[in-house]
């Protein structure tokens, strides 16, 4: 079940100022894929020159060259558009993702997975910078909750899917939050997402990830997906829980202020009211959480039943 006869695999490598990592990434991947598409995105170093050198040596290589930087998302989309493979693999140009996992991605896709992810957490966490590690755990928890699936590394840039599914997997994003959104989108649509533990090597060259800017974009996009994807019935319960939280905190802060300023409470019942309101908030939030989970489960069961009915009818 590794590779089907005649099946082609295209490796897409977006590259921005990756003169050192790109040649090693490409040469290592050559034996595993049918073609490699490098998208040099207005790099200011020797990335384009090195890509041309690789193209003159190896037939499998195609280059897309942008005079100006158009961003990683545009680069990936253009790469997929130009790809002739049935299967698409995305990887970084920084030599972090060992190419030997590509056959495993192909195997999983041929076994029925729709999106295969290279999970850096299990074997490779030590090479993820501490700050990014924290973000990774938080975002993967949110992705799993919103997508109702268990994902350990939803942000990984090392991923594979069928070319025909790309239009449906594709999402709107400005920059490095693209992968996170694509994972949530796949889970939400009921695609089978499979994680493959990978060794994650230290990066060659400078990171393009801005932890604050990109982290903020990721949080923003996750909140907007969460809001859009939360069922109406759950919203009715969860939104009031925020009101109770704000009220509870207000009473709590007033009590704290009085205790610090006057060393005694002017309103003795405020701490009690605060705890009471916060408890109501927690309960409402939990009920909303459970309601949302079950309403998504029900939606998916209905979708699956519809699909099965369609297949039975076609047969
Ligand atoms: N084409 C293109 N590629 C980009 C751009 N920004 C980043 N990339 C590439 O996208 C890939 C991922 O960027 P990285 O800096 O490795 O981000 P990361 O993997 O989240 O962070 P690290 O852990 O530091 O590697 C690399 O191959 C970059 O060269 C861009 O504007 N255009
Ligand atoms: Mg990287």
Average pLDDT for residues 62-73, to the nearest whole number?
A: 95
Record the pTM.
0.80
Structure tokens at 230: 């939360």
Confidence of residue 126 (pLDDT cuts 50, 70, 90): confident
Number of the ligand closest to the Cα of 135:
1
Residues with CB under 6 A from ligand 1: 14-16, 18, 39, 41, 69, 71-72, 75, 92-94, 96, 132, 157, 176, 203, 207-209
Residues 180, 215: Cα–Cα separation, whole Å: 11
Q: Report residue 300's pLDDT band, with 50, 70 and 90 as the boundaries.
A: low
**pLDDT (0 to 100) of residue 41:** 94
Q: Residue 154 pLDDT more than 60? A: yes
- Whether the per-residue pLDDT at 147 is higher than 70: the answer is no
Mean pLDDT of 27-43: 97
Whole-number Å distance between alpha carbons of 287 and 291: 6
Query: For ligand 1, atom 12, which residue shows the shortest CA distance?
Result: 92
- Average the pLDDT over each of 115-129, 155-169, 235-249, 296-310 and give the range with the smallest value: 296-310
Indicate whether 311 pLDDT > 70: no
Closest ligand 1 atom, residue 40 Cα:
1
Q: Which of 109-123, 162-176, 250-264, 289-303 has the lowest mean pLDDT?
A: 289-303
Around ion ligand 2, residues with a beta carbon closer than 5 Å are 92, 94, 96
What is the per-residue pLDDT for 2?
67
**Model pLDDT, residue 219:** 80
Q: What is the dihedral of CA 124, 83, 143, 100, to 10 degrees?
A: -20
**Protein residue with its CA nearest to atom 22 in ligand 1:** 207
Mutate which of 51, 72, 175 to test ligand 1's pocket (most atoms within 8 Å of Cβ)?
A: 72
Query: Which pLDDT does position 312 carry in this prediction?
Result: 77
Given ligand 1 and candidates 19, 40, 91, 92, which is best to mutate, with the most ligand atoms within 8 Å of its CB? 92
Mutate to test the pocket of ligand 1, among 11, 16, 176 (most ligand atoms within 8 A of CB): 16
261-295 pLDDT tens trace: 999 989 999 999 999 999 999 999 999 988 887 88
Residue 16 · residue 42 · CB < 8 Å:
yes
90 neighbors 12 (Cβ within 8 angstroms)? yes
The values of phi and psi at residue 203, to 5°, are -70, 145
Specify the range with the lowest mean pLDDT, choosing from 15-19, 24-28, 232-236: 232-236
Distance 53 CA to ligand 2 centre (A): 22
Mean pLDDT of all residues in 51-56: 98
Q: Which ligand 1 atom lies nearest to the CA of residue 21?
A: 27
The pLDDT-based confidence of 220 (bands split at 50, 70, 90) is: confident
Nearest-CA neighbor of 115 among 199, 218, 188? 188
The mean pLDDT of the chain is 89
Q: What is the CATH number of domain 9-228?
A: 3.90.550.10
Say what the pLDDT of residue 212 is.
82
DSSP state of 165: G
């Amino acid at each position: 079940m590794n590779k089907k006869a005649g099946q082609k695999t295209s490796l897409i490598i977006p590259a921005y100022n990756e003169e050192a990592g790109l040649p090693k990434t490409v040469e290592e991947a050559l034996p595993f894929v049918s073609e490699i598409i490098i998208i040099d995105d207005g790099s200011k170093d020797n990335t384009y020159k090195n890509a041309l050198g690789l193209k003159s040596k190896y037939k499998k290589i195609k280059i897309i060259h942008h005079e100006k930087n158009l961003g990683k998302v545009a680069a990936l989309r253009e790469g997929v558009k130009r790809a002739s493979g049935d299967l698409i693999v995305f990887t970084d140009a920084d030599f972090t993702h060992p190419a030997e996992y590509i056959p495993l991605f192909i195997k999983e896709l041929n076994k029925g997975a729709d999106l295969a992810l290279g999970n850096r957490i299990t074997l490779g966490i030590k090479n993820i910078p501490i700050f990014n590690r924290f973000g990774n755990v938080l975002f993967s928890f949110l992705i799993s909750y919103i997508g109702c699936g268990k994902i350990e590394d939803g942000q990984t840039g090392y991923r594979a899917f069928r070319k025909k599914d790309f239009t449906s997997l594709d999402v709107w994003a400005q920059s490095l939050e693209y992968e996170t959104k694509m994972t949530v989108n796949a889970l939400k649509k009921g695609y089978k997402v499979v994680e493959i533990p990978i060794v994650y090597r230290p990066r060659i060259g400078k990171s393009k990830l801005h932890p604050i800017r990109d982290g903020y974009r990721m949080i923003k996009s996750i909140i907007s997906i969460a809001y859009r994807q939360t069922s109406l019935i759950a919203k009715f319960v969860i939104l009031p829980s925020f009101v109770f939280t704000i009220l509870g905190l207000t009473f709590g802060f007033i009590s704290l202020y009085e205790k610090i300023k006057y060393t005694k409470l002017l309103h003795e019942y405020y701490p009690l009211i605060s705890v009471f309101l916060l408890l109501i908030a927690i309960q409402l939030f939990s009920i909303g959480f459970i309601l949302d989970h079950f309403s998504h489960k029900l939606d998916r069961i209905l979708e699956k039943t519809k699909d099965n009915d369609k297949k039975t009818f076609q047969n």
